[in-house]
Structure formats: structure tokens, C-alpha cells
Structure 1
Amino acid sequence: MRIGELAHAAGVSTRAVRHYEQAGLITSTRAHNGYRVFDARALRRVRNISFLVAAGLTLDDVGHFLECLDGDVSAAPPAPAKLAVARARLRVLEERIAAQTRVRDRLAEVLREAEAASRPRHSR
């Protein structure tokens, strides 16, 4: 199938399919006209990659799951090494959320201070 057909069937963009191929997660051949042609196995792989990315993993993380991408990733029993990858990504996300929360709180504090300083003062 061609890239547009694969993307449509998997529910992703053609850009995502190209990105997955560039990351080495899927492969294609070239037709005589230069178009990418993917085999039927690519559909399951793209769906699984999309599932893992939606769960918060990066494409580098997904690379650790290569041997699982042709099966049902969402229903397969988790392997300890794969869980370790997911836990590591979760730690990174939690650290980023904490950092963003600190920035948000600081900005809110600065705004409160600025608004308080700009209020007209009443003389008594």
C-alpha cells in the first residue's frame, strides 16, 4: 500500500509515517514511479507506534519495542525491560511537569506582585 493509504488506515498523518520510517521503525520499498510502498505488516506497526507515542513514549523509546511492534502491543504482557523504558519516560515527564509547575507558580507570583504594586493607593 502507498503512504497515504497506510496513514489513512492507521489514523495518522503521512508525515508521521515518514517520521516513523526515518526513525527506522518501519520500512518501505520504492515502486517504479518512486512512490513508497509498504507491506501489510506496516499497518499494525504504525498503529502500535502511534499507540506507544500517544502513551507518552518518544520514537527513541519506541525503538526498544521493535520486536513487539508486529503483535498486539496494547494486549501483550509487559516485559520488565519494556516497563523500565516506560518508567524512565514517566520520570522524565514528571520532572518536566514539576519544572513547568514551578515556572507557572513563579509567574503567577510575579503577576500578583505587579498587580498589587499598580493598584492606586488611597490616602487616609
Structure 2
Amino acid sequence: MRIGELASHAGITTKALRYYEERGLLDAPRRTNGYRDYDESHLRVVQEIQTLQEIGFALEDTRPFVDCLRAGHEEGDACPDSVAVYRRKIAEVEAYLKQLAVVRDELRAKLDAAIGKRHGTTGEN
């Protein structure tokens, strides 16, 4: 299939596909007329990239998953490098959740103090 068909099947633009190609995530052989020739495996790669980006992965983070698919695996997360990215991303999310918990606690303390001031109770005797 040609790039327009792949874009249509994947629900993205041809510009995005060309960008994936520039970044080395999508490769397609060219026909003698210069057109790229895509198949179902390319659609699977694009879908994998989209799925990962929808859950917050940066484009570069998708590379091990793409490489895994290119190596012939049914799933992009069947390879050790993909699992390592999952672990790293989970650690990043957990660190961010800890930061958010600190912010939440600070906000609660400020809210409690503000409510105390409105009602004339500052917590002091």
C-alpha cells in the first residue's frame, strides 16, 4: 500500500508517517517509481507507536517496541529492551506520583490554614 493508504488505515497524517520514517521508526522499501511500499507489518508498527504515545510514551521510547516487532515478534513488548522501558516508565510515574503527593499535602495544609483563618481558629491557644 502507498503512504496515503497507510495513513488512512492508521488514522494519522502522511506527515506523521514521514516523520516516523525520518526518525528511523518506520522503513519501507521503495518501488522503482520511487513510491514507498507499505504492508500490514508497517501498519502494526504505526499502531504500536500510537498506542504507546497515547499512554504517555515519548516517540523515542517506542523504539525498542518497534525493533521487537521488526525482529518478528507478535507483540512489541515481547523483548527484554521493551520490558526495560516499561520498568523505567513505571519508575518515572511512581516518582511523579510521589511529587504530586507532596504538592497535595502542601495544598491541604494551606487550605486547612485558610479555613482556620476564616473561622477565627488558627490552631493556636
Pair 1:111-2:111 in alignment: yes
Which structure 1 residue ranges, 4+ long, deviate > 6 Å from structure 2? Answer: none
CA shift in 2, pair 1:50/1:69, >3 Å = farther
Report deviation, 1:110.
0.7
Q: Deviations over 1:35-61 (max 9, x none)?
A: x96622431111111233345433222
Q: Does 1:26 align with 2:17?
A: no
Sequence identity of aligned pairs in percent?
Answer: 31
Larger CA deviation: 37-46 vs 13-22: 13-22
Q: Give structure 1 stretches of 5+ with no counterpart.
A: 31-35
Correspondence for 2:44 = 44
Higher relative contact order (CA 8 A, sep 6+): 1
Distance 1:23 1:98, change over 3 A: farther
- Count of paired positions: 112
Q: 1:53 to 1:69 in 2, by over 3 A?
A: farther
Give the match's secondary structure for 1:69: helix
Match in the other structure for 1:72: 74
RMSD: 3.2
Could you tell me the TM-score, scaled by structure 2's length? 0.65
Unaligned 5+ runs, structure 2: none
